[in-house]
Amino acid sequence: MGAVRDVLRRPLGHFTERTLAGLALVLGAGVGFGLVLVLVRVRWSPLYDVDHGVAQWLNERISPIGPLVTVLNAITDLGGRPVIIWLITVAVVGLLIRRQGRLAVFVVAAGVGALVLDPTLKTLVDRLRPEVEVPIGTYAGQSFPSGHALGSMVAYGALLLVFLPAMAPRWRRVAMIGTGVVVFLIGFTRVALGVHFLSDVLGAWLLGAAWLGVTAYAFRLWRVERGRPATPLTEGLEPEAAPEVALAPDERELLPHPRAAIAEIVVGWVLIFGALYGFGMFVSYYAQDTFLGTWDEVVPTWFAEQGTPALDDLSWWWSKFGDTHAILLVSMVFCPLVLAIWRRWRPVLFVALTMFGELTLFLASAAAVDRPRPPVDNLDGPMPTSSFPSGHIAATLCLWVAIAVIVFPRTDRWWRWVFVALAVVMPVGVAVSRMYRGMHHPTDFMGAILLTTLWIGLLYWVVRPNEDVAEGNQPAIESEDVDTLDDELAEAARPAG
């Protein structure tokens, strides 16, 4: 029995010897947070004066500078709950695909803990937000601690610890500094925008560091108890998982001839814009006596006559599938999944160029053609862009066609046809809803089809997003299966006896 105790004590003793300084830092962060919490609760006068003085001083200097306020709001969104939840979800799904369940559990525990601590402490402390002369930031709920500062500290810190082993040693320090700068800037924006006191952010950073440290060291203790070495946190949580947590291998050449590819894309963009401009000018101003002109008059009028409150609501919701937020959300989920499953950057580049080109072609051709909306009730009201081509329809077409182009040749499972169906159903649904709402003519839909066909055709020819499939790339062998595969290969190589 004594021998068993000695065996159990060795990992723990080895762990504490190598991590004493780290544990001291974690305890220091926890004590620091407790001190800030007490000072906030008792409303200590010096802290009160500093908090209100800093908030007012920053507000006086930042509020008159509109562009700076816009930049600060953009940075502060990086610590918002939608971005944090997206980061954690994508990371967890990617880790599970790579069979890194322990790291996925760590990310979930760290993230969920932060999401629970923030509203709980806000309710218990019940501190009011700052009152500044010129409100420039939006907020909800109580003030202490800052949820953005806490969430960014935990989420970005946890992801850094998970993916650090995949980085070359020379880039690890850069990644640490970059993460620290992002976390600092997010916290600064909360004070600069007048939605948090300085002590709210400092308390959140200390609490985030303490919670991240507790979860990280619990993970390391878990490793040591299973016989794995207690490596420094500067090497990441699971150094052995470096090949699995790497986003994608270093591809010898992302594009065979990058300069020629860039030239081809630029020239193609100009030619596609010319085709859109020519077709748009014709259907907008010269096709009144043609079938297309008649169609553009009859269809919007017919849709306007079918209007009901229920269809109004349904068309509004379906239109949302083609707006910027929905398109961006789907892209930001799909691209990390491509990296997790197929470990190649070229399909991601294909999607990114598809959406960037769609946006620029749409904006340029809409401004050049300047077509009025259909002469019926426009249920969405005045829009900043003209009618031709439909941005909602073009974005939906480009996104789902690009996804189908990437997924279909990469699997022979039945569900690949689901993506083909989505590439048809989603754009048609958005097109019908946009025409029902009186926002587009049928030829605007045709313009979106023209844009999608020409642009995706060009990119498919230049980028060749499925080149790795032709070279035999399949989803990577999971780390747990490597030993089994090696045994099977060795057995197959032995001569028959």
In SS3 terms, the chain reads as CHHHHHHHHHHHHHHHHHHHHHHHHHHHHHHHHHHHHHHHHCCCHHHHHHHHHHHHHHHHHHCCCHHHHHHHHHHHHHHCHHHHHHHHHHHHHHHHHCCCHHHHHHHHHHHHHHHHHHHHHHHHHCCCCCCCCCCCCCCCCCCCCCHHHHHHHHHHHHHHHHHHHHCCHHHHHHHHHHHHHHHHHHHHHHHHCCCCCHHHHHHHHHHHHHHHHHHHHHHHHHHHHCCCCCCCHHHCCCHHHHHHHCCCCCCCCCCCCHHHHHHHHHHHHHHHHHHHHHHHHHHHHCCCCCHHHHHHHHHHHHHHHCCCHHHHHHHHHHHHCCCHHHHHHHHHHHHHHHHHHHCCCHHHHHHHHHHHHHHHHHHHHHHHHCCCCCCCCCCCCCCCCCCCCCHHHHHHHHHHHHHHHHHHHHCCCCCHHHHHHHHHHHHHHHHHHHHHCCCCCHHHHHHHHHHHHHHHHHHHHHHCCCHHHHCCCCCCCCHHHHHHHHHHHHHHHCCCC
Q: Is residue 88 part of a domain?
A: yes
CB 178 within 8 A of CB 157: no
pLDDT (tens digit, 9 = 90+) per residue, 425-452?
999 999 999 999 989 999 999 999 999 9
487: confidence class by pLDDT, cuts 50, 70, 90: very low
My answer on whether 159 and 14 are in the same domain is yes
422: confidence class by pLDDT, cuts 50, 70, 90: very high
My answer on whether 299 and 420 are in the same domain is yes
Q: Is residue 387 part of a domain?
A: yes
The pLDDT value given to residue 250: 60
d(CA 194, CA 333): 32
My answer on whether 309 and 458 are in the same domain is yes
Please list, in sequence order, all residues whose beta carbon lies within 8 angstroms of the beta carbon of residue 133, skipping any fewer than 6 positions away. 56, 59, 60, 63
pLDDT at residue 26 tops 70: yes
My answer on whether 162 and 210 are in the same domain is yes
pTM: 0.77
The pLDDT value given to residue 473: 63
Q: Which stretch of 87-91, 107-111, 248-252, 301-305 has the lowest confidence by average pLDDT? A: 248-252
pLDDT at residue 414 tops 60: yes
pLDDT at residue 319 tops 60: yes
What is the mean pLDDT of the segment spanning 313-337? 89
CB 330 within 8 A of CB 406: no
Distance (Å) of CA 255 to CA 258, 356, 459? 5, 18, 12
Please list, in sequence order, all residues whose beta carbon lies within 8 angstroms of the beta carbon of residue 325, skipping any fewer than 6 positions away. none
What is the mean pLDDT of the segment spanning 480-497? 42
My answer on whether 237 and 337 are in the same domain is no
Of the three residues 245, 274, 290, the one that is the final residue of a domain is 245
Domain count, the chain: 2
My answer on whether 206 and 263 are in the same domain is no
My answer on whether 267 and 201 are in the same domain is no
Of the three residues 177, 212, 245, the one that is the final residue of a domain is 245
d(CA 310, CA 341): 41
pLDDT (tens digit, 9 = 90+) per residue, 211-269?
998 888 888 877 777 777 767 777 777 878 777 877 776 666 677 778 888 999 999 99
What is the mean pLDDT of the segment spanning 478-490? 41
And the tokens for 379? 């249920």
Q: Which amino acid is at 222?
A: W
Q: Is residue 491 part of a domain?
A: no
The pLDDT value given to residue 425: 94
CB 336 within 8 A of CB 94: yes
Q: How many CA atoms within 13 Å lie on the side-chain side of 199?
A: 28
Q: Is residue 37 part of a domain?
A: yes
My answer on whether 42 and 145 are in the same domain is yes
CB 392 within 8 A of CB 430: yes
Q: Is residue 490 part of a domain?
A: no
The pLDDT value given to residue 430: 93
Buried b (16+ CB within 10 A) or exposed e, 101-131: eebbbbbbbbbebbbebbeebbeebebebbe
Residue 464's domain comprises 258-470
Q: Is residue 389 part of a domain?
A: yes
Among residues of the chain, what percentage have pLDDT more than 70?
88
What is the mean pLDDT of the segment spanning 127-145? 79
pLDDT at residue 358 tops 90: yes
d(CA 160, CA 165): 9
> Nearest 10 degrees: CA dihedral of 267, 272, 277, 278?
100
The pLDDT value given to residue 413: 85
What is the mean pLDDT of the segment spanning 328-354? 89
My answer on whether 89 and 204 are in the same domain is yes
d(CA 330, CA 348): 13
The pLDDT value given to residue 43: 84
Q: Is residue 48 part of a domain?
A: yes
What is the mean pLDDT of the segment spanning 187-197? 88
φ/ψ (deg, to 5) at 24: -65, -40
My answer on whether 199 and 152 are in the same domain is yes
The length of the chain is 497
My answer on whether 241 and 265 are in the same domain is no
d(CA 279, CA 454): 13
Q: Which amino acid is at 184?
A: F
The total of other beta-carbon atoms located within 10 Å of residue 354's CB is 26
Q: Is residue 252 part of a domain?
A: no
Residue with tokens 């007048």: 194
Of the three residues 210, 245, 280, the one that is the final residue of a domain is 245
What is the mean pLDDT of the segment spanning 265-280? 95
Residue with tokens 């979930």: 108
Please list, in sequence order, all residues whose beta carbon lies within 8 angstroms of the beta carbon of residue 401, skipping any fewer than 6 positions away. 423, 452, 456
My answer on whether 356 and 428 are in the same domain is yes
CB 73 within 8 A of CB 317: no
